[in-house]
Structure 1
């Protein structure tokens, strides 16, 4: 990444928050240096992939059937590539972006930015001096809504609490009758938490989105939010989780031998509350798991929600519609999180704008952290062109 930036005449800084956790940052001079700068960022890391489950080498970057296959194809090396190529197009044309850009490629986002964006904003706020807004991943992509292609612009994201549950019991031979079994206690707690039906919670963003969706789908004004979201087809893979708190057990650890009852068992849970609900949700989790289960918060990060208005939103919307005339652009709240959370510590307002025009039959939400992750080449070409135009006029 640094070599590509140098080829554009830039001087990138490489910084390691920890061993093998390298972030790359560069500043691109704009036509109007008096304006506030825009941070354009992505992350370099990806989640693991088991080659045994894939139909291609997950790290081979294979092109097949008009698509680029590989881990990170959508999360989020696609945006990283579009940033570089869009900047390259401006450079080749002898053009500058409308204002200064802080281009940042962070390490460690999939680990919550612990060794990436979070220490970067704390230890090197000067890299982001003068920046007030940012764009990054998981927004600006198209979805098919009842035969209408629309674009979802990410204006917020839920909060994040990664928690660990621990049960303790009596270690013993596996053949004995042991009621104080740590695995059994943990299993009950995990099953109860996993089955919890969290109540509907509408934010200003989801209220606006559901209203827009009702109009596009021709549904009555009193159609329930769940009904509306499920009617969007594959887009519901992202949107459904924005209506409620989610709490998904993801890792279980216990024992070391078939005939030994362990004295401890633990589970990791990915908990996504809404901004401002974190303590309330943790209290509810404690009620669900009971007093015998220990709860530890391993990592917490804030939720964000910004208005679907203002000059930056108008420029993103106008650029998308210039390349896809007549397509509605809608706000949405992301169920996951991005490095915009860290930039918010510096007062920077962050949106998701990684533009992709996708085929109606592609289940895009399933690509994130999924098997056989892939992105259409035509979508990358579209995004490159949209992003270059946006940066030229941002």
Structure 2
């Protein structure tokens, strides 16, 4: 009887992504969501099915991560961590054109919460790994495959917990690959792939102002609400100066080469024109030219005619890699003497070189599938689980390879409505990742 050939990664990736989207792993940041247990068990089943030994573990009930290791052809080399996260930000169904957890395929795109961030990459990793094992092929070196909980709330119950409590799972690893890079953009009519080599640091802050409580009818020069409002306004309106980090500088030089536009590092206008040439991706890149501080919450008082003794607000701060000290000092200055700053969540900035064997392998894998395209480094304005892995000395890159239509606002869908990814891009990513693991 004729035998049926086993499915390839390209055969499986869309279905795996669809199934992951249909498992609601919304992360509200307070353990009130469904958690990642169901998704982790599903993923563990996919890996177990091809014979891989998987360790599933929880930082607390329902906050579930998993790790497995593929033996490489050259075990003397340092291992590579290939990781994703299973949680997603919440979605309001009324805002969407489709059910955000239905995994609907429409017009060649797969829709749903996580289609972009980051169940697309999870599916590419899983489908490629399954194909490697089924075909009896080894990656070039040991590969640690990890799927973490809680990335969307900073990773404290996921990657950070795993690094702090189970560091032996990553033994021998020196480099890592995850989100958010490797996707294509149109620059001056030419396709370029943005490989993430850096990411900004994270500083979520609570501003607390103290004052004298009293009757709302009196004179109140020591008013906590006034102190807070003035501090929030100063921080929110502050125009942070442009500072070009090495990664941003190299990106802008590459865009200048592609477009023929001039680059004068002392002229903000030429810098902004080059950023604008990146199309929708300018949202990500534009925020990496400077520190940012965005007020996000305010709370004070309990009655209109009672002046409260305290008032609080929160600020989402993001600082450039290597510039944390100056950032903190300026925020404290802007907050002023009447307001103290408490850390809600803080994490480091990262900057890895756009050079070396892994970078060369990523570039070569892209060129093999898309000859003539350009690959440029960029800095992510947000953060990834690479921050946690850096605590073990692991250098992290963002490389979820997707060849995208020039008119698709891909970056605008991160944490947005109507997340969707082209199914052809998922299959393209599988081919690139397969080449990468064979050579890196």
Normalising by structure 2, we get a TM-score of 0.85
Q: Does 1:231 align with 2:280?
A: no
Equivalent position to 1:285, from 331, 334, 339: 331
Larger CA deviation: 182-191 vs 292-301: 182-191
SS in 2 for 1:202: coil
The question of whether the paired residues in 2 share the 8 Å contact of 1:90 and 1:392 is answered with no
Match of residue 105 from structure 1: 147
Aligned pair count? 394
SS in 2 for 1:253: strand
Unpaired stretches in structure 2, ≥5 consecutive residues: 1-42
Match of residue 206 from structure 2: 164
State the 1:368 CA deviation.
1.0
SS in 2 for 1:242: coil
State the 1:258 CA deviation.
5.9
The question of whether the paired residues in 2 share the 8 Å contact of 1:58 and 1:372 is answered with yes
SS in 1 for 2:80: strand
Match of residue 115 from structure 1: 157
Equivalent position to 2:121, from 72, 79, 82: 79
The question of whether the paired residues in 2 share the 8 Å contact of 1:42 and 1:106 is answered with yes
The question of whether the paired residues in 1 share the 8 Å contact of 2:115 and 2:421 is answered with yes
Equivalent position to 2:55, from 13, 16, 19: 13
Match of residue 202 from structure 1: 244
State the 1:93 CA deviation.
2.6
Match of residue 381 from structure 1: 427
Q: Does 1:344 align with 2:390?
A: yes
The question of whether the paired residues in 2 share the 8 Å contact of 1:144 and 1:235 is answered with no
The question of whether the paired residues in 1 share the 8 Å contact of 2:184 and 2:403 is answered with yes
Larger CA deviation: 49-58 vs 24-33: 49-58
Residues in 1 aligned to 2:405 and 2:183: alpha-carbon distance in whole angstroms: 11
The question of whether the paired residues in 2 share the 8 Å contact of 1:82 and 1:380 is answered with yes
CA pair 208-22 structure 1, distance change in 2 beyond 3 A: same
SS in 1 for 2:208: strand
Residues in 1 aligned to 2:301 and 2:98: alpha-carbon distance in whole angstroms: 34
Residues in 1 aligned to 2:86 and 2:387: alpha-carbon distance in whole angstroms: 17
Larger CA deviation: 43-52 vs 142-151: 43-52
State the 1:179 CA deviation.
5.4
State the 1:134 CA deviation.
0.8
CA pair 189-56 structure 1, distance change in 2 beyond 3 A: farther
State the 1:231 CA deviation.
2.4
Larger CA deviation: 73-82 vs 271-280: 271-280
Residues in 1 aligned to 2:252 and 2:90: alpha-carbon distance in whole angstroms: 34
Match of residue 39 from structure 1: 81
Residues in 2 aligned to 1:78 and 1:328: alpha-carbon distance in whole angstroms: 23
Residues in 2 aligned to 1:373 and 1:180: alpha-carbon distance in whole angstroms: 47
Q: Does 1:326 align with 2:375?
A: no
The question of whether the paired residues in 1 share the 8 Å contact of 2:256 and 2:263 is answered with yes
Larger CA deviation: 270-279 vs 183-192: 183-192
Q: Does 1:96 align with 2:138?
A: yes
Equivalent position to 2:176, from 134, 148, 162: 134
Residues in 1 aligned to 2:375 and 2:291: alpha-carbon distance in whole angstroms: 25
CA pair 214-28 structure 1, distance change in 2 beyond 3 A: same
Equivalent position to 1:193, from 235, 240, 249: 235
State the 1:36 CA deviation.
1.5
CA pair 183-19 structure 1, distance change in 2 beyond 3 A: farther
Provide, for residues 130-150 of structure 1, a one-character-per-residue CA deviation record: whole Å limited to 9, x for no partner: 111110001111011121110
Residues in 2 aligned to 1:296 and 1:150: alpha-carbon distance in whole angstroms: 41
Residues in 2 aligned to 1:70 and 1:171: alpha-carbon distance in whole angstroms: 49
Unpaired stretches in structure 1, ≥5 consecutive residues: none
Equivalent position to 1:218, from 260, 278, 281: 260
Provide, for residues 352-389 of structure 1, a one-character-per-residue CA deviation record: whole Å limited to 9, x for no partner: 11001111111111111112222121211111221122
State the 1:6 CA deviation.
0.7
The question of whether the paired residues in 2 share the 8 Å contact of 1:13 and 1:24 is answered with yes
Higher relative contact order (Cα pairs below 8 Å, separated by 6+ residues): 1
Equivalent position to 1:353, from 382, 399, 408: 399
CA pair 171-64 structure 1, distance change in 2 beyond 3 A: farther
Residues in 2 aligned to 1:270 and 1:375: alpha-carbon distance in whole angstroms: 28
CA pair 184-55 structure 1, distance change in 2 beyond 3 A: farther
The question of whether the paired residues in 2 share the 8 Å contact of 1:172 and 1:260 is answered with yes
Residues in 1 aligned to 2:412 and 2:223: alpha-carbon distance in whole angstroms: 37
CA pair 50-344 structure 1, distance change in 2 beyond 3 A: same
